[in-house]
Amino acid sequence: MASYEGILLGMGNPLLDISAIVDNDFLQKYDITLNNAILAEDKHKPMYEEIAEKFNAEYIAGGATQNSIKVAQWMLQVPGATSFIGCIGKDKFGEEMKKNAKLAGVNVHYYEDETTPTGTCAVCVIGGERSLVANLSAANCYKSEHLKKPENWALVEKAKYFYIAGFFLTVSPESIQLVAEHAAANNKIFTMNLSATFISEFFTDVQEKALVYTNFIFGNETEARTFSKVHGWETDNVEEIALKLSEWPKASETQKRIAVITQGADPVIVAEDGKVKKFPVILLPKEKLVDTNGAGDAFVGGFLSQLLQEKPIEECVRAGSYAANVIIQRSGCTYPEKPDFH
């Protein structure tokens, strides 16, 4: 397994999740909807204090890309198989993040911002469904200069698979471009996620620019439908949208792209070579659901853990569904000591 060292590199926004079961009044007060992810505006700023004071909040190391990388690391059980790059602050939360990543076995190269606090994400849970409000803070300060440093670029050189959530498009599109071009030039696998509807709506250009390099594009049904709407495809049919995503222009002639769209409890849709396949997920009785926070991230982590072992797509999907199933039975993107995936 030595050849797996540093095989998967993630780059994204490391955030500390402040997770709590809230009430409808809280959602209404801050104008937030379930099953959504947004960036905090000024009106949301007081909610971080309030969620911690008013509700029984847990602090869990998160951030979409970092979650996926940690889950892949957990599934692989090979120390140092994965690496992660992002920006944190020089503070208590940042120290927590480092400790957590180390425990998870991920090789993190954080850029530490002297003046900005570590980013946080309010995870508001009602009836097992979650809404995310991210206050990026330091995560938003990532600079491509950090990536270009020899000790960090070495992680890029070493990796054969890359994963970057769409959220990072709002932070450092130039860093994404550098990694994407490297992957294309060296026949490596570059993967991304649609991540949230606001990315397709408000960061359309940078998303389109990065999308051409992707070998795999992940997303859920809501994000897929928003992407379709933004691009005037005039269809809400997720299978059609997945096909169109897989056929989106590519950076090179030889490149293949597979679109993988999850739909909660409904089957996972995989579009490849002009064909669509559907894979049922493991259904969970409602009483076992703790929260859906990290479910999509966990799916990607499980999927990638098999992809980098060159397993067939159905095995990748099965591992993704397994990981998501484990995570939704726990608070946040956390997992037991060892996976039970065979």
The predicted-structure confidence for 47-84, as pLDDT tens digits, reads as follows: 998 998 999 898 888 899 999 999 999 999 998 999 99
Tokens of 81: 């198989």
- The catalytic residue among 17, 113, 291, 297 is 297
- Helix 313-327 crosses helix 295-307 at what angle (to 10 degrees)? 150
Specify the 3-state DSSP secondary structure of 291: coil
Separation of alpha carbons 11 and 106, rounded Å: 12
pTM, to two decimals: 0.94
Residue 333: which of 108, 61, 102, 117 has the closest Cα?
61
- Cα–Cα distances (Å) from 246 to 44, 120, 129, 203, 255, in that order, read 36, 33, 29, 20, 11
Residues 179 and 210: beta-carbon distance below 8 Å: no
In order, the DSSP letters of 67-104 are HHHHHHHHHHT-TTSEEEEEEEESSHHHHHHHHHHHHH
The predicted-structure confidence for 185-201, as pLDDT tens digits, reads as follows: 999 999 999 999 999 99
Cβ atoms within 10 Å, residue 311 = 14
Q: What is the largest CA-CA distance in the chain?
A: 55
Separation of alpha carbons 94 and 87, rounded Å: 9
Separation of alpha carbons 102 and 96, rounded Å: 10
Over the chain, what is the mean pLDDT? 94
Asked if the model's pLDDT at residue 291 lies above 80, the reply is: no
Cβ atoms within 10 Å, residue 115 = 8
Element counts in the chain: helices (H) and strands (E): 13, 14
Place of tokens 């060292």: 5
The CATH T-level fold of domain 8-14+63-118+137-328 is UDP-N-acetylmuramoyl-L-alanine:D-glutamate ligase (3.40.1190)
Buried b / exposed e across 172-204, counting CB within 10 Å, b at 16+? Answer: bbebbebbbebbbeeebbbbbbbbbbbbbeebe
Q: Provide the edge-to-edge strand list for the sheet that holds 189-193.
A: 107-113, 82-89, 8-11, 161-165, 189-193, 216-220, 258-263, 266-272, 275-279
Specify the range with the lowest mean pLDDT, choosing from 32-36, 202-206, 317-321: 32-36
Q: How confident is the model at residue 2 (pLDDT cuts 50, 70, 90)?
A: low
Residue 17 among the catalytic residues: no
